[in-house]
Amino acid sequence: MIQSQTVKTERHFQRFTRLERIMHILMIISFMSLALTGMTLKFSYTGWAVILSHVFGGFQFAGYIHRAAAVVMFGIFVLHLYDVVFTKRREYGSWKALLLGPNTMLPQKKDLQDFKDSMRWFLGRGPRPQYGRWTYWEKFDYFAVFWGIFVIGSTGLTLWFPEFFTNFIPGWMLNVATIIHSDEALLATGFIFTVHFFNTHLRPEKFPMDLVVFTGRMPVHELKLDKPAEFEKLKADGTLKDYLVEPYPPVVIRAIRVFAWAALATGFMAVIWIIYAMIFAYR
Amino acid sequence: MNNTPLQDRKNLNAVWVTLLVITFSLSIAVPTVMAQDNENCYMCHEDRELTKTVNGKKRSMFIDNRILSGSAHGEFDCIICHSDIDPEDLPHAEDLEPVDCGTCHGEIQEKHSVSLHGKAITRGDRLAPRCTSCHGTHNVVPADHPKSPVRASNIPFLCGSCHSEGSKVQTQRKIAQDHIVENYSQSIHGEGLLKKGLTVTATCVSCHTAHEILPHTDRNSSIARRNIATTCAKCHSQIESVHLQVIKGELWEKQPHLLPACVDCHQPHKIRSVFYDQGMADAQCLECHQRPNLRAEDGRSMHVNYQELGHSKHVSVSCSQCHSGVNISHTRPCDQITKAVDCSACHPEAADKHAESIHGVKLAANDPDAPSCLDCHGTHSILGQKNPNSRTFPTRVPMLCGECHRAGEKGAVRIANNDDIVGHYIESIHGKGLLQSGLVVTAQCTDCHTAHEVQKSTDPRSSVHQDNVAGTCGTCHHGVEEQFAQSIHSPFVSDTDKELPTCNDCHSAHTISRADQSGFKLEIMQQCGRCHEDITETYFDTYHGKVSQLGYTGTAKCYDCHGAHDILPPSNPKSRLSHQNVVETCRTCHPSANRQFAGYLSHATHHDPDKYPWLFWTFWGMTGLLIVTFLVGGTHTILWLPRALRWRKELHRLEKEAEEDVEDIAWSDMVAPSPPSLRKQNELADNPPDPDPTDEQKESDES
């Protein structure tokens, strides 16, 4: 006998908007595609690169995937900038409120303080800092993407249209662009698949993964414990209720979990391949 | 008798002639007078007891005045021949120089010295005939003198003294023919001379010449294939008109290579007027040899399948031309055959080549594995090379050579690590062309290795020796050879001590594959890399190389930029990579390439700060950035990890408290959006939600 029943459930705090979540999913897909297809070339001297390249349907098709994913990522970048403007208008009213308020992505004095306190906490010489909406490592990741898009994007574009760009730069700059493109991509890939993965998924209190970036919501008590400063602020000004939503049904969570696991596994695989290539097959 | 003025003139002439003859005779008589000087010689040499010891043997030094004076040289002074005697200083020294007939008979002496006999003398062959061997010494008489050993009717006996069965020459020297004198005496020439006394009939010297005897393999020999017709025609002039149907007139003498030579039908020394009737006809041989059960003493079948022979290349050659030891005077003409068939009698050039080849050398050394003519060409069933059923027809050659050189066979064991040469060949482009596409012009074994001049590739004479390979391949790939000869890799262009590549260094020998297929395209870079090590390594560091390394041919490979057979240094204006041509070369793949685009470093490395400082410092700048970032990120994580583990434990306690704290804000009654899963139901059944968590919380707080 199946019947609807009333249970007492904890409502969730909405941390990410729908657009942000979609952008992150697209970011994962495009970033993974770029990383894997690019790696086949960078580590072409390894056996796995040869196999992977064939899995992608050959170097030419891998190239198409790489460039298509790059276009998607550029799109996300532009969309995000548009979203920032839109959010400012809708929620903050002024750039000052957006950029200097408590929800800002820009590094603040508090971030430096949080960093110092974190070091003390890590070493057992102080309590866990009262992190706000965006921790300093989250801000670092955010601007790392800005930097990455600029550096990898510009060199990638040069390599995409070398005949055009050599009208302005000498040919050997293509070689320089290749090195920058490839090493910066290695940095991004390595960083995302190790440090970022740890900071958000693998750190013990979130292990094995934190789904908030996909669901957009987290239990309110978790917010209180993880981002106490934000919780207190929302509670104090009474706006917390505005962000409360019902949690997703389990089937949605399960689907999200499958996707997240796949992304996580792909990332780890890439890290293993890179380590293998750098240590055992480097030439 | 009325003499006409003409008759008077004739009479007058007769008088003059008579006078001249008398005067001439007197002048000849002078040496007779002079010959009195010989008296001095006879003072000693008249003595019948006069002897001299040569090599421990006593030799008479007596000279019979009657014989000498009756000889052709009877009127000459001794010292004309014995020129090292000083008549003023007698007696002369014990040992005189041998008489040099060439002083007077220079032209003859010269011919003799280049002849077989003359060369044997030069070699120091004791059996070789000197002038005196045939002409005698003091008893030399004119050739038409009945006693002359070189008179026509005596010649067969003179020559036969050396060239007859059992003589030292016949047994100890390599003489191709046998029973020479015997056969000659029964031939039409021999019968003419010896039975009918026709001194104009052909004797030994008529065909072989007297002094200029050469082997038939020598182009200048009177019995060489190209000259034999001329030699026979000295007597048998106009013979070609008799043979008109066969030889189309004078073609016989002008183009002897197109036609059978006289000796092909009329065997030397056995010539009969009607060869096939009276000579050693095949029918006679077949009387015995067509019996299927005919066996030799050692059990070998001696049966000859005449059907087979009839279809063979040698259909017009009689048995006895190859089995040359027959003697038609015997009831069993073949009973004295001791020698195996010698193909060189008719095929001297091929035989000579074979004898010098590695096969021939091993054969001569009695190597049981070495092939003789028969091993490749067969025996009675031999077919022409153009006959598709021939063992030597192009499509069958790989199998023929493979009989020995296939993996595991006797020839392969000793060559090239038992490599499967034939197997590889069959898979190669040439093998496929020959055996799958049936192109008989495709290169097979003998096209590269030659048929009869096979040598090891290390032998400079070998057609596949390093220095000769380009020429060998060029017989078919001539255009490529021409290009290659102009390239930097050609020994004509590059004067270097380094080993230059030749065709097989890139294309291999037996595993040659199509150059337009990806396997070859990718392998070739390894081949270039064997010598151009650094430049290949750095190529693989750039985009083109990386794609190639992944196994794709879509990007530029060595030859796309440098060319294949026509490679030139970029400093050469004709090079594809010269300043004039490089942009055009880039444009073959990058249609809108410009001058600066061509400045791309396709062999760049970031490991060379002197050559590529920009790349070097960019690389290390990026590497520094990586190291710093990972160090900071990594340290942060490693410090965090132990603390986070403790925090996780603490959270278990804090969670309850936090949930409670937010209860009034976040908890609400709601309709479950969907029925809880079975597992959830079980959980709920086992642990019903605590009706009053506050009490418990207080307790834990107190503890």
pLDDT tens digits for range A46-79: 999 999 999 999 999 999 999 999 999 999 999 9
Smallest Cα distance from B422 to chain A, Å:
33
The mean pLDDT of B401-416, rounded to a whole number, is 77
Place of tokens 């990718």: B522
Whether B550 sits inside 8 A of A53 (CB atoms) is yes
What pLDDT does residue A154 have? 96
Q: Are residues B588 and B619 in the same domain?
A: no
Per-residue pLDDT averaged across B137-163, rounded? Answer: 86
Check if B61 contacts A (Cβ < 8 Å).
no
Domain hosting B616: range is 605-635
> Are A123 and B596 within 8 A, CB to CB?
no
Output the average pLDDT for chain A: 92
Are residues B619 and B547 part of one domain? no
Whether residue B673 is predicted with pLDDT greater than 50 in this model: the reply is: no
Window 31-60 of A: residues touching B by CB (8 A cutoff) are 40-42, 44-45, 49-50, 53-54, 58-60
* DSSP code of residue A161: S
Please tell me which residue, B550 or B97, carries the higher pLDDT value: B550
CA B125 to chain centre: 31
Contact A183 B623 (CB under 8 A): yes
Q: A124 CB contacts (<8 Å, ≥6 apart)? A: B643
The pLDDT of residue B290: 85
Counting the structural domains of chain B, the total is 3
Give B244-281 pLDDT, tens digit per residue.
444 444 555 565 555 566 776 676 776 664 444 334 56
Instruction: Note which residues in 130-189 of chain A have CB less than 8 A from chain B.
Output: 137, 159, 162-164, 166-167, 169-172, 174-176, 178-180, 183-184, 186-187
Where a domain ends, among B549, B571, B599? B599
CB contact under 8 A, A60 and B666: no
Q: Given an 8 Å threshold on Cβ–Cβ distance, is A190 in contact with B630? A: yes
For residues B493-513, give the mean pLDDT: 84
In chain A, residues with a C-beta closer than 8 Å to the C-beta of B593 are 163, 166
pLDDT at B272: 60
- Asked whether residue B657 is assigned to any structural domain, the reply reads no
Listed residue (B437, B401, B419) closest to B509, CA to CA: B419
Q: Do B549 and A44 touch (CB under 8 A)?
A: yes
Mean pLDDT throughout B611-637? Answer: 95
| B309 found inside a domain | no
Q: Are residues B462 and B532 in the same domain?
A: no
Q: What pLDDT score does B674 carry?
A: 47
Dihedral angle, C-alpha B69, B74, B80, B81, nearest 10 °:
-80
Pure H helices in B161-238: 168-172, 180-186, 188-190, 204-208, 228-233
Q: How high is the pLDDT of residue A67?
A: 97
Residue B33: predicted pLDDT: 41
B358 plus B448 within the same structural domain: yes
Task: Decide if A204 and B668 are in contact by the 8 Å CB cutoff.
Answer: no
Whole-angstrom distance, CA of residue B13 vs CA of residue B18: 9
Shortest CA distance from B603: residue in chain A = A175
pLDDT of residue B694: 44
Pick the range with the lowest mean pLDDT from A7-11, B54-58, B528-532, B613-617: A7-11
pLDDT tops 60 at residue B686: no
Considering the domain architecture, whether residues B587 and B629 belong to the same structural domain is answered as no
Averaged over A78-90, what is the pLDDT?
Answer: 93
**Are residues B376 and B450 part of one domain?**
yes
- Looking at B552, B580, B599, the residue that finishes a domain is B599
Quick check: B573 pLDDT over 70?
Answer: yes
State how far residue B495 is from chain A, nearest Cα, in angstroms: 33
Band (B32; pLDDT cuts 50, 70, 90):
very low
Subunit contact A54:B551, Cβ cutoff 8 A: yes
Distance, CA of B655 to CA of B674 (rounded, Å): 26
- Is CATH 3.40.630.30 the right assignment for the domain spanning A12-279? no
Name every chain A residue with its beta carbon within 8 A of the beta carbon of B596.
Answer: 166-167, 169-171
Residue B507 near residue B443, CB atoms below 8 Å: no
- The two tokens of residue B84 are 């090292």
Say whether B671 and A221 touch across the interface (CB within 8 A). Answer: no
CB contact under 8 A, B614 and A183: no
* pLDDT value of residue B678: 46
Distance from CA of B487 to the nearest CA of A (A): 28
Does the beta-carbon distance from B601 to A124 stay under 8 Å? no
| Least trusted range by pLDDT, from A16-30, A164-178, A219-233, B672-686 | B672-686
Q: Which of A82-86, B29-33, B165-169, B420-424 has the lowest mean pLDDT?
A: B29-33
> What average pLDDT does range B294-321 have in this prediction?
82
Tell me the per-residue pLDDT of A174-222, one tens digit each, with 9 for 90 and over.
Answer: 999 999 999 999 999 999 999 999 998 888 888 888 899 999 999 888 8
Please name which of B553, B567, B588 lies closest in space to residue B480, comparing C-alpha atoms: B567
Do B394 and B354 lie in a common domain? yes
Region A246-254: what's the mean pLDDT?
Answer: 92
Q: How confident is the model at residue B2 (pLDDT cuts 50, 70, 90)?
A: very low
Mean of per-residue pLDDT scores for chain B: 81
Nearest to A50 among B550, B596, B629 (CB): B550
Is B633 within 8 Å of chain A by CB?
Answer: yes
B549 touches chain A (CB under 8 A): yes
Residue B499 within any structural domain of the chain:
no
Q: Over range B521-529, report the average pLDDT.
A: 83
For residue B590, give the nearest of A163, A180, A283 by CB distance.
A163
- Which pLDDT belongs to residue A283? 62
User: What is the average per-residue pLDDT within B108-127?
Assistant: 88
CB contacts of A194 in chain B (<8 Å) are 630, 633-634, 637
Does residue B624 share a domain with residue B558? no
Asked if residues B115 and B214 have their Cβ atoms less than 8 Å apart, the reply is yes
Q: What percent of chain A has pLDDT over 90?
A: 75
Residues B356 and B457 occupy one common structural domain: yes
Q: Is a pLDDT exceeding 60 seen at residue B89?
A: yes
Half-sphere exposure of B436 (CA within 13 A, CB side): 9
Residue B447 lies in a domain: yes
What is the complex's ipTM, to 2 decimals?
Answer: 0.93
- Does the pLDDT of residue B231 top 60, yes or no? yes
* A residues 95-124 closer than 8 Å to B (CB): 118-119, 121-124
* pLDDT beyond 60 at A146: yes
Q: Which amino acid appears at position A241 of this protein?
A: K
Query: B457 and B367, same structural domain?
Result: yes
Residue B614 lies in a domain: yes
CB B453 within 8 A of CB B460: no
- Asked if B675 lies within 8 A of A4 by C-beta distance, the reply is yes
B315 confidence band (pLDDT: 50, 70, 90): confident
CB contact under 8 A, A195 and B549: no
How many angstroms separate the CA of residue A59 from the nearest CA in chain B?
7
Residue of B nearest to A140 (CA): B633
Report residue B138 as tokens.
């003091």
Quick one: B576 and B526 in the same domain?
A: yes
B590 and B620: one domain?
no
- R_g of chain B, CA atoms, integer Å: 48
Give contacts of A283 with chain B, Cβ < 8 Å. 537
* Residue A246 at interface with chain B, using a CB cutoff of 8 Å: yes
Predicted TM-score of the model (pTM)? 0.64
CA quadruple B365, B369, B373, B374: dihedral sign: positive
pLDDT on residue A19: 94
In a domain, B239, yes or no: no
- Whether residue B326 lies inside any domain: the answer is no
Residue whose tokens read 């003398």: B121
Q: A105-119, B36-50, B373-387, B528-542: lowest mean pLDDT where?
A: B36-50
Report yes or no: A210 at the B interface, CB cutoff 8 Å.
no
pLDDT-derived band at B352 (thresholds 50, 70, 90) equals confident
pLDDT > 60? residue B675? no
